[in-house]
Amino acid sequence: MVDHQFSDARLASLYDLFCPWEDRGDFSFYLPLVMSAESVLDVGCGTGALLKRARESGHTGRLCGLDPAAGMLEMARRCRGVEWILGDLASVRWDRAFDLVVMSGHAFQTFVADDDVRASLDAIGSALTDDGRFAFETRNPLVREWERWTPAHPAEVTDDDGTVVRMTHEVETPVEGDVVRFTSTFTSPGWARAEVSRSTLRFLGADSLSSLLDGAGLVIEEQFGDWDRRPLTATSPEIITVVRRR
Ligand SMILES: C[S@@+](CC[C@H](N)C(=O)[O-])C[C@H]1O[C@@H](n2cnc3c(N)ncnc32)[C@H](O)[C@@H]1O
């Protein structure tokens, strides 16, 4: 089972409502990178919004989305002009196939154990062409965003049929180390019962991330603290990183 709050088919159909393109600063960072690369792999592509938008914007090269959540990929497959693959990095192997690999929407944080991170970075490194780049972000642990993931901060959307769905999060405490476990509860007046999903995310600090990247033979080329490319500081919300093979 995929450990992610939107992996179920009904919840996957709500993902783009909870995370609409217009509210996402990350896509304005990633889309130009995608448009300027000939071949692109989106790992943890979810509903495929980034690659779909790239195709609609005139990208003519290879676009490939990979995600282990069947519900998410079902949404992505509504766009036929992209290669969609159900699976994770352990189920595929590419050798110098992509000029750009991206992981947006904090998908990188689903790699929890060090071995998981190492194996994923190894697979991504192999998939990159000699001049290829891997661009991704992870939330800055120093900002402790999970402390705002409480029932006091609900989000609400209305789907095309007028159904209102509310989402709240609750973090398992105490949070130990850099791993955060939480539940997401979705409720709607029209549903017989709530849908509850569990997620686990790793909040790697910049130093630990650097050393894991180094161990995988990847060199940091650029690093930013937010989507407007400002430098990374202790209070930055994101650790946005672009790496290449050593
Ligand atoms: C928050 S969503 C982000 C989706 C998309 N990248 C975006 O920016 O909207 C995280 C995605 O990571 C996927 N995921 C979970 N575990 C994964 C893994 N081990 N490898 C790759 N993707 C994974 C989930 O299925 C989910 O679609």
Question: Which of 134, 137, 139 shows the shortest CA–CA distance to 236?
Answer: 139
Ligand 1 in reach of 45 Cβ (< 6 A): yes
Q: Which residues of the chain have pLDDT under 50?
A: 1
211/223 Cα distance (integer angstroms):
14
Nearest to 98 by CA among 52, 56, 139, 43: 43
* 70/7 Cα distance (integer angstroms): 7
CB distance 65 to ligand 1 below 6 Å:
no
Q: Which residue type, as a one-letter code, is found at position 31?
A: L
pLDDT of res. 10: 81
Q: Report the alpha-carbon distance of residue 133 to residue 220 in Å, rounded.
A: 10
At residue 111's C-alpha, the angle toward residues 107 and 113, to 5°, is 165
End-to-end Cα separation, the chain, in angstroms: 34
Identify the residue whose C-alpha is closest to ligand 1 atom 21.
44
Q: Give the model's pLDDT for residue 4.
A: 59
Rounded-to-integer distance, Cα 134 and Cα 94, Å? 14
* Bridge partners for 223 per DSSP: 241
Amino acid 160: pLDDT: 86
> pLDDT tens digits, residue range 66-125?
999 999 999 999 999 999 999 999 999 999 999 999 999 999 999 999 999 999 999 999
**Residue found by looking up tokens 């995600």 in the block:** 67
The residues, any chain, with a CB within 8 Å of residue 174's CB and separated by 6 or more, are none
> Alpha carbon 156 to chain centroid distance?
21
Q: Tell me if 186 sits within 8 A of 166, measured CB to CB.
A: yes
In the three-class reduction of DSSP (H, G, I as helix; E, B as strand; rest coil), residue 78 is classed as coil
Contacts of 17 (CB under 8 A, 6+ apart): 157, 158, 159, 165
Question: Ligand 1 centre from 107 Cα, in Å?
Answer: 4
Atom of ligand 1 nearest to the CA of 69: 25
pTM across the whole model: 0.96
Q: Report the pLDDT value the prediction gives residue 96, as an integer from 0 to 100.
A: 98
The closest alpha carbon to 166, from 184, 192, 183, 148, belongs to: 184
- What count of other Cβ atoms lies within 10 Å of the Cβ of residue 94? 17
SS3 21: helix
Token look-up 């991504």 returns 124
Residue 160's contacts (CB-CB under 8 Å, 6 or more residues apart) are none
Tell me how crowded residue 136 is: count the other CB atoms within 10 A of its CB. 23
236 alpha carbon – ligand 1 mean position (Å): 22
Length of the chain: 246
What's the pLDDT score for residue 7?
A: 66
Measuring from atom 9 of ligand 1, which residue has the nearest CA? 105
